Chains A and B, each alone.
Chain A
Amino acid sequence: EDKVVQSPLSLVVHEGDTVTLNCSYEVTNFRSLLWYKQEKKAPTFLFMLTSSGIEKKSGRLSSILDKKELFSILNITATQTGDSAIYLCASVNTNAGKSTFGDGTTLTVKP
């Protein structure tokens, strides 16, 4: 059974701090790993990772995948209150793109 574990479950930081969110996975027939941000609505896509060691970057957010150690990290630098959200990672396998989600990390950024 595919399994995705995120840590920490919750995190409280102050504006300007840098945070690192972790995602480890055990997946049969791994294809890719996805990161999402969820505020009080549907998840919105952040990154898709398929290859080890290649960093994906969007503004203050970046992510990287390690397929040997089976984990990914999401970094957010210079955090802002608008970064407060639940961050979800999901593994995608080759079977019709079935995804398994972790339980998410709830990030709270205080002014």
Chain B
Amino acid sequence: DAGITQSPRHKVTETGTPVTLRCHQTENHRYMYWYRQDPGHGLRLIHYSYGVKDTDKGEVSDGYSVSRSKTEDFLLTLESATSSQTSVYFCAISERAGGDETQYFGPGTRLLVL
């Protein structure tokens, strides 16, 4: 599992409230990613990071912001949650060794916005 944890694992919130999801890794990986997974849409990239304080947008970044103040933590914030943001959120890291690369996923966070 490449030492990735996500918190919380489940959250129910109301429309209009801010929500922050945390991804924590213990193996000093440079690249980290946030995805959301919805039925019929597969996994879609929200934001990614290529180092401390270095982040960029993915394909579905509207309504989300991220921060990475230290290597091990990558935070995803929904500034004002909407029902369309009900989803399963996965954090991932990219591991590269000897020309090979893979992405490992965290366990996921199920978010329900009422």
Residues of the A chain whose Cβ atoms lie less than 8 Å from the Cβ of B106: 42
- In this complex, how many residues of chain A approach chain B with their Cβ under 8 Å: the count is 23
What's the minimum C-beta distance from A9 to chain B, rounded to whole angstroms? 9
Least CB distance from B104 to A in Å reads 7
Is there contact, CB below 8 Å, between B45 and A42? no
- Is A43's CB under 8 angstroms from B101's CB? no
Give A102 to B37 CA distance when docked, in angstroms: 11
Contact partners of A88 in chain B: CB under 8 A:
42-43
> Could you say which residues of chain A place their CB within 8 Å of the CB of B100?
48
Q: What's the least CB distance linking A35 to chain B, in Å?
A: 10
Number of chain B residues whose Cβ lies closer than 8 Å to a Cβ of chain A? 26
The answer to whether the Cβ of A41 comes within 8 Å of any Cβ in the partner chain is yes
Judged by a CB distance under 8 angstroms, whether B41 is at the interface is yes
* A102 nearest CB neighbor, chain B only: B42
- Whether a CB of chain B sits under 8 angstroms from the CB of A75 is no
Residues of chain B lying within 8 A (CB to CB) of residue A102: 42
Closest 7 CB pairs of A and B: A42-B105, A101-B43, A103-B42, A96-B50, A97-B94, A101-B42, A45-B102
Instruction: Name 5 interchain pairs, CB-CB below 8 A, sorted by A.
Output: A48-B102, A90-B43, A97-B94, A98-B45, A100-B45
A interface list, Cβ under 8 A from B: 1, 31-32, 34, 41-45, 48, 50, 88, 90, 92, 96-104
